[in-house]
Amino acid sequence: MEIDKAIRECADSRLKTKYSNAISVIKRAFALYSIQEVALSFNGGKDSTVLLHLLRAGYFLHRAEESCSQDVVDGENTFPIRTIYFESASAFPEINSFTYEAAATYNLQMDIIRLDFKSGLEALLKANPIRAIFLGVRIGDPTAVGQEQFSPSSPGWPAFMRVNPILDWSYRDVWAFLLACKVRYCSLYDQGDSNNSEEKFKPAYLLPDGRLERAGRAKKQLSSISNGLKFKDLNSDSVLTASVIAVGDEILFGTVEDKLRSFLCRKLHSIGWAVLLLAVTRNDVDSVAEEVERRKSTNDMVFIYGGVGPLHSDVTVAGVAKAFGVRLAPDEEFEEHLRHLIAEKCTGDKNEMAQLPEGITELLHHEQLPVPLIKCGNVIILTATNVAELDLQWDCLIESAKSNGDLVLMAPFVSKSLATTLSDVEIAQPLSKLRLQYPDMNIGGYRGSRKGPLIVRFEGKDPTRIEAASQSLCQNFHSGAFSQIE
C-alpha cells in the first residue's frame, strides 16, 4: 500500500513512530468493531485528510493480517468505511470541491449531512449501526480537552466511541505526513495571500508552527481560570499577593544556595506586589502539587521555578498539572519552540518537555526568550537557573505585561531604613505601638549581626506616611538615637 511504503521509506524517525502508534489505534478499533460499525468524520481539512489516509493504510494492513496477500493487492483501492461529511453553506468552495474529489478518488461511501452536528449524528446513528467514529482531533483543539485515544461521547450526545488516532500529533507531524506521502490536500493551504492585500502569508506547510496558520484567530481566553491577573482599576495603595515556590532537593540538602528567591522578592516589590510566602519543596510530583494547590487559591499569583526539564527529577510541570486536576498533554506550539532550540535532540525524554497542563496553559512570548514562559491559571512557571536568566525572564514578563496585561503593574513599595544602637528591649514597645498606628505598612527590625546595629525598616506604598511613621518613632528617643541608611 503506497501510504505504508512511503512512511517506511522516509528518513523521519519521529513520523514513523507517530504513524506506527496511529496505525495501532486503528487496528485496535477494527478488532473491537466490525467495518459496518465504524465511520470516518471527514471535513476536507488537513487533519481529517491525514486521518483518511491513515485509515486507508490501517484498513489495508488489517486485511493483510486476515487474508492472503494477493486478495489485499487486488482490493487495495476499496475503502468500505462509511464517511460522514457535514456540509455547511458557509464552508469555502475549495473545501467542498476537495471533499467531493476525495470521495470520488478513494471510493468513499459518503453520508452528506446538512443538519447541525448533533442533530445530524442523532439521525445518522438512528438509521445505521455505527458504534465508533474516527475523528481527526489533536491536542490543542478545543474539543480535545479530556479526550483519550478511545473516549465515549459526551453526556447528552448520541452514544458512540470517539476514536482519535492522531490525538498526540503536532502541526509539524501533520505536514510531515502529507508531504512524505505525496497525497493531495485542500488547495487553500497553498495560498499565501490573506484578505488584506498588504499582508502575505506563507503556504501552511512552510510555517514553523500552527500558531501562524491561526494568526487571525482570537487569542484563547483563560479569564475563567485566572485570579485577577489582568489590568484592572486598583488604587495606588492596593496590594496584590504572591507566593514563591522553589523546587529542588539540592536546595533542601544545602548543596545549592538559592539566590533566586530574594531576587524575585525584590522584583515583585518593585511592581507593588507583596510576597506572603517563600517555600522550598522536594522534587516530587505530589509535594509540588500540594504546595501549588494551597498557594494558588490564597494568592493572586504563584511563581514556581526549578525542576523544569527532561531529567527524572524535573517534576514541576507535572505537579502544577496535578494541582489543577488536569493531565499533561503534548502542546504543538511549545514543541515547535523546543525544536528550534534543540533541533534533532527533541526526541525521547526531551520531547516529553513539550507536554504541558491540558486546557489551562497559556504561553507568554517575547522575542528575547528562546522558549516562552508558561502560565497556568495564576501560576507562572519560570525556567531560570540563575539570577541573570531570571533577570531576563522578568524584564520580558514586565514588557509583555505593559502590552497584554499578563501581570498587573502597581505602585511600587517604597522603604526607609534607620539604624540605632538602642537595645531590642528599649525599642520593642514603641515599635509595637507604631505598627498598630500604621497598619498599612510593614514595620520591623533586624540585625546583620548579633553585635551590630539594629536596623528598623519601614515599607509601604505612601512615602508621606513612611516619613511620618519614622518621625514618630524618633520622637520617642533622644536626638541622634537613629541614623538613616541610604
Q: What is d(CA 319, CA 245) in angstroms, rounded to the nearest whole number? A: 12
If we measure between CA atoms, which residue out of 471, 398, 481 comes closest to residue 438? 471
DSSP codes, 192-249: -B-SSTT-B---GGGSSSHHHHTTTSPPPP-TTT-SS-S-----TT--EEEEEEEE-H
Q: Is the pLDDT of residue 230 over 60?
A: no
- Count the Cβ atoms, other than its own, within 10 Å of residue 369: 17
pLDDT reported for residue 438: 92
If we measure between CA atoms, which residue out of 102, 14, 106 comes closest to residue 59? 106
Rounded to an integer, the average pLDDT of 207-230 is 40
pLDDT reported for residue 351: 57
Q: List Cα–Cα distances, 214 to 45, 219, 243, in angstroms.
A: 13, 10, 35
Task: Mention every residue, 6+ apart, whose C-beta is less than 8 A from residue 65.
Answer: none
CA quadruple 92, 98, 103, 105: dihedral, nearest 10: 170
Q: Which amino acid is at 146?
A: G
Mean pLDDT of all residues in the chain?
Answer: 83
pLDDT reported for residue 335: 77
Percent of the chain with pLDDT over 90: 46
Q: Which amino acid is at 274?
A: A
pLDDT reported for residue 406: 65
Cell numbers found for residue 440: 498599612
Cell numbers found for residue 412: 511600587
pLDDT reported for residue 361: 86
pLDDT reported for residue 431: 93
pLDDT reported for residue 162: 94
Q: What is d(CA 132, CA 153) in angstroms, rounded to the nearest whole number? A: 9
Q: Sign of torsion, CA 167 169 174 176?
A: negative
Q: How confident is the model at residue 72 (pLDDT cuts 50, 70, 90)?
A: very low
Q: Is the pLDDT of residue 139 over 80?
A: no
pLDDT reported for residue 206: 54
pLDDT reported for residue 229: 40
Q: What is d(CA 30, CA 39) in angstroms, rounded to the nearest whole number? A: 11
Task: Mention every residue, 6+ apart, whose C-beta is less than 8 A from residue 253.
Answer: none
Q: How confident is the model at residue 205 (pLDDT cuts 50, 70, 90)?
A: low
As a whole number of angstroms, the longest Cα–Cα distance in the chain is 107
pLDDT reported for residue 416: 94
Contact 292, 302 (CB under 8 A): yes
- Min mean pLDDT across 90-94, 372-376, 449-453, 481-485 is at 90-94
- Count the Cβ atoms, other than its own, within 10 Å of residue 65: 9
- Min mean pLDDT across 34-38, 153-157, 347-351, 353-357 is at 347-351
Residue 171 has what DSSP assignment? H
pLDDT of 313-357, one tens digit each? 789 999 999 998 888 888 877 877 777 766 555 444 455 677 888
Q: How confident is the model at residue 140 (pLDDT cuts 50, 70, 90)?
A: low
Q: Is the pLDDT of residue 22 over 70?
A: yes
Q: What is d(CA 36, CA 48) in angstroms, rounded to the nearest whole number? A: 20
Question: Which residue in the block uniquely carries the three cell numbers 534607620?
Answer: 418
pLDDT of 129-138, one tens digit each? 899 999 998 8
pLDDT of 241-259, one tens digit each? 999 999 999 999 999 899 9
Backbone angles phi, psi at 361, to 5 degrees: -90, 135
Task: Mention every residue, 6+ apart, whose C-beta is less than 8 A from residue 10.
Answer: 16, 180
Task: Mention every residue, 6+ apart, whose C-beta is less than 8 A from residue 215.
Answer: 201
pLDDT reported for residue 388: 95
